[in-house]
Amino acid sequence: MFRAPLNLFRTLAIAEAISWTLLITGLILRATADLAIAVTIGGGIHGFVFLSYGATAILVAKNQRWGAWPTIVAIGSAIVPYATIPTELWLHRSGRLRGDWRLVATADPRDAAWHDRLMRWFLKRPWVLGALIALAVVVLFVILLIVGPPGGRD
């Protein structure tokens, strides 16, 4: 399913946009129908997908060897509602999502770095990588739930 960085990034960019819809719908339901639970549900889903998208953007940026600007734009696009979709289109059209996962070292001197070797090790074991990223997202999500929502609790 995610045989290329493009597929994974596109899937999470779309999921992030959908999660914005859930959050905004929850906010509207809270304001119009006094359904605070809608924000809790929509916000929770959005928060989890937001963190997952950020982790995916970092992984794809590392694999694709993006510079700082495309990486910052990709991560920052999750903050603006629905901005992940035009960002994905821009990255795709500019060729930044072209190619496969870097599973094998090349003659490029950057492939000799310890973090590139570690990334290749994890990319060859996608279930381990997925579980590690999921664990990191869950831990961060729980920490953020303990800290509380933006703007504080009601």
The tokens describing 125, both together, are 């074991």
Closest CA to 144 of 5, 4, 47, 63: 47
Distance from C-alpha of 143 to C-alpha of 130, rounded to nearest angstrom: 20
Closest to 60 in 3D by CA, of 71, 50, 76 = 71
The gap from C-alpha 8 to its chain's centroid, in whole angstroms, comes to 9
Check pLDDT > 90 for residue 87.
yes
If you average pLDDT over residues 4-28, what whole number do you get?
97
Calculate the average pLDDT of the chain: 93
Residue 154 confidence (pLDDT):
63
Residue 45: partners with Cβ closer than 8 Å, 6 or more residues away = 19, 22, 23
Lowest model confidence (mean pLDDT) among 38-52, 106-120, 126-140: 106-120
Q: Considering only CA atoms, which of 124, 7, 113, 21 is closest in space to residue 65?
A: 113
Residue 146: CB atoms within 10 Å: 7
pLDDT of 1 reads 58
Q: At 152, which helix (H) or strand (E)?
A: none
pLDDT in tens, 37-59: 999 999 999 999 999 999 999 99
Quick check: 93 pLDDT over 80?
yes
- What is the dihedral angle through the alpha carbons of 1, 107, 111, 50, rounded to the nearest 10 degrees? -30
pTM above 0.85, yes or no: yes
Could you tell me the two tokens for 4?
């290329």
Report the Cα 132 to chain-centroid distance in Å.
14
CB 5 within 8 A of CB 60: yes
Report the share of the chain in percent with pLDDT over 90.
84
Interval 144-152 mean pLDDT: 80
Instruction: Give the pLDDT confidence score for residue 21 in this predicted structure.
Output: 98
